[in-house]
Amino acid sequence: MRVYLFVIFTLQCYTSIRAHPKLTIDEFFNATSFQSVSLSPNGRHLLVYTRKPAWDSNSYDNNLWLYETDGSKKELITTQYFAFMEPKWSPSGDWFFYYGNDKVTTNSTDERVRYRHSSNKSLKNQHKIHLYSVTSGELLSIDIGKATPSALTWSDSDSSLYFAAQSTESTEDADRLYEAEWKDVIQYRRRKPNYGSVIQRIDIKRKHGKLSVKIHCIKHLDFIVTELLFVASEHKVVCISYSPIIETLSEIELYAIDFLNTSSLIRLTNSKLFEYNLKLSTDGKHVFFLVYPVRLNNENFLSMQGRLYSIDLTNGQIEQWGKGFQGSVRDYTIRSEGGVFILGQLGTNVHVYTQLSVLENVCLLSGWHGSYRSISSSKSKQYSSVAVTYSSFEQPEEVYFTKHIDELPWAKPLTHENQLLSTRDLPRTKLYRWSNPEDNRTIEGILHYPPGKFEHKNLPLFVLMHGGPTGASLNQLQPSFDTWAPLAATEGWLVLEPNFRGSTGYGDKFIDEVLCEMLSRTGKDILTGVNSLVNDGIVDPTRLNIGGYSFGGFLTNWLITQTTLFSAAVSGAGASELVSMWGTTDFPTYGASFMCGFPWEVTEIYKKESAMNNLNKAQTPILITTGAKETRVPADQSYMLERGLTYLGVPVKLLLFPDEGHAFSSNPWHGKIKVREELKWLAQYDHLRSVGAEDVL
């Protein structure tokens, strides 16, 4: 009897394993990603913005969906939604606005256009914003003129909104004069006379079924506005300034316009931080904002991880929320009873936390292990309904809803976009820790085992490194051109995703420790991890491979000049020479802070940390990929690396992806082809290496 049971049991195991088909690259890249969720004030409706590949048209569908949170209904509002402007609910909750439909064809292929004078008045279509009523199903489309809007907010009533648009007042006379003198010559850094934004108010009146719309100009600002927030109790509209090239972080600050006296412009912050995501507190007097993990030298403010702040509009006082929290704040939402809910990354998980007031502690709420990526709450006075997006290693991302935050562990999925992935034979994962002997720091990484080979020994290794350095590899399943560990594991590699020094989620000091050694120290963290896997017998020492995107590409380029240990390398958007990188990137402040100064101040550091200066030591065959329209890590960095390695006779191939910038968001085929070729490259070179005497770490 026992034997019989055992046989049945093993058979069932066998069939259940067989029941999960292998994950394919086509399925992996066909996933839907959730860009934002926004719950209506009464919690009955949810706006979900999704992005899904449209393979036939070489583009993405940007879909805005309206869900009833009881799960009874969903409605597609538009497939042409514009990502940069979040839809927002009106004060009563009857309406929401969105911007979309008429696709804007901006040819700003290079974000540095800001400093160019263009005399070409490409007269675009009228821009429209759309107001949708969830009670009546009515849709109002409002012409807002020829200028592209950049930010939009409701006032305190459903019949009035504020928006910011680029200034367009430049006259054709001025253009003709410029052209007569300069022809098509570009004067770099010369701003157009009309550079900046105009803040305008839309008033909507309806009488006897007739709609009348009036647009008033409120104020001209000499900067670009990315967000607007109306604060009724203080008679203010708060906005964030922005610059396409971030040469100094003081270009990104919070300002307030007093709408009782629009001649004044009040600067609210002088923080030299990268502020974004404005929200108004429950008491209506504090404006919350997030800051990106940015580090600056010799400044009062340091933000090495994502942080949440609020500013008191009655006295200008700025306070930091989540102070005792060691990790990085990724998103937040206002708690209707006061305080906030915070999505905080600690180690490889992103959990939901709550903080009732700035003086109180941050508390972890019960929820699932994995990564909550965005959160939105209702405004009910009794309790907070919340919608979240969530995924983990085993669970592809979906949107979940719960009527009460205390019931988060029982939240119900509202969407079922990616369930196909959970029916596939996904790799099993575990955390792996090692210590860097230089300072005995413990470093953590994620191991993705090939399906059916969990905890097997002597496996071929692929180290996949995240961007940043202030990023992290997480407990999530986010199919993407840069996070494809499950796909590589499916193809047979044991994938290590190391959260090396400089990663968020391990305390501020963990990031501080890469200062002035941005590549050399992180590189050692990774090499000691590889060494540890070899010593533990987990990986085959003759089959070690490496790759990554953005900072992961920097590290790949660096590591192949430090060791001949690796059989194959795949490097995306990686810098190879840091002086030219500093001189051409659109975000020079970020890199310079990790390098501890400008190229003329710390020449030796730039020299020592650049792969290019050690290139003659490289032997590892490398596949290089880059967007052709990169401005973050300009494609020149990849050309330089490719040329150097070609001269040196190292197998190298460069793939350029037209129209793509750093985010690879233009054509879904590009990301898929990139990873397809990277997998091929690894398969081609993985076996070819022979162990040599110089392979000592």
Ligand X SMILES: *[C@@H]1O[C@H](CO)[C@@H](O)[C@H](O)[C@H]1NC(C)=O
Query: Which residues contact ligand X by CB under 6 A?
Result: 26-27, 30, 105, 107, 120, 122, 261, 263-264, 439-440
Q: How far is the CB of 104 from ligand X (least distance, A)?
A: 9
Q: Of 226 and 436, which CB lies nearer to ligand X in the complex structure?
A: 436
Q: Of 264 and 423, which CB lies nearer to ligand X in the complex structure?
A: 264
Q: Of 261 and 382, which CB lies nearer to ligand X in the complex structure?
A: 261
Angle at 675 between CA 673 and CA 676, to 5 degrees: 60
Q: How far is the CB of 397 from ligand X (least distance, A)?
A: 15
Q: Of 61 and 407, which CB lies nearer to ligand X in the complex structure?
A: 61
Q: Of 143 and 438, which CB lies nearer to ligand X in the complex structure?
A: 438
> Which of 479-482's residues contact partners 24+ apart within 8 Å by CB, and which partners?
479/28, 479/29, 479/31, 479/33, 479/396, 479/421, 480/33, 480/671, 481/549, 481/572, 481/664, 481/670, 481/671, 481/672, 481/674, 481/675, 482/548, 482/549, 482/550, 482/552, 482/572, 482/664
Q: Of 30 and 157, which CB lies nearer to ligand X in the complex structure?
A: 30
User: How far, in Å, CA of 670 to CA of 666, rounded?
Assistant: 8
Q: How far is the CB of 32 from ligand X (least distance, A)?
A: 7
Angle at 126 between CA 122 and CA 129, to 5 degrees: 135
Residue 601's CB: how many other CB atoms inside 10 A? 11
Q: How far is the CB of 63 from ligand X (least distance, A)?
A: 11
**Contacts of residue 342, Cβ cutoff 8 Å, sequence gap at least 6:** 308, 321, 322, 325, 329, 331, 332, 352, 353, 354, 355, 362
Q: How far is the CB of 105 from ligand X (least distance, A)?
A: 4
Q: How far is the CB of 120 from ligand X (least distance, A)?
A: 4
Sheet holding 128-133, edge to edge: 88-89, 95-99, 128-133, 139-143
Residue nearest to ligand X (CB): 264
Angle at 556 between CA 553 and CA 559, to 5 degrees: 150
Q: Of 27 and 695, which CB lies nearer to ligand X in the complex structure?
A: 27
Q: Which two tokens stand for residue 654?
A: 């460069």
Q: How far is the CB of 99 from ligand X (least distance, A)?
A: 19
**Contacts of residue 251, Cβ cutoff 8 Å, sequence gap at least 6:** 223, 241, 242, 243
Residue with tokens 């006032």: 155
Q: Of 122 and 357, which CB lies nearer to ligand X in the complex structure?
A: 122
Q: How far is the CB of 626 from ligand X (least distance, A)?
A: 19
Strand, coil or helix: 642: helix
Q: Of 11 and 697, which CB lies nearer to ligand X in the complex structure?
A: 697
624: closest CA among 639, 644, 646?
639
Strand, coil or helix: 179: helix
Q: How far is the CB of 260 from ligand X (least distance, A)?
A: 8
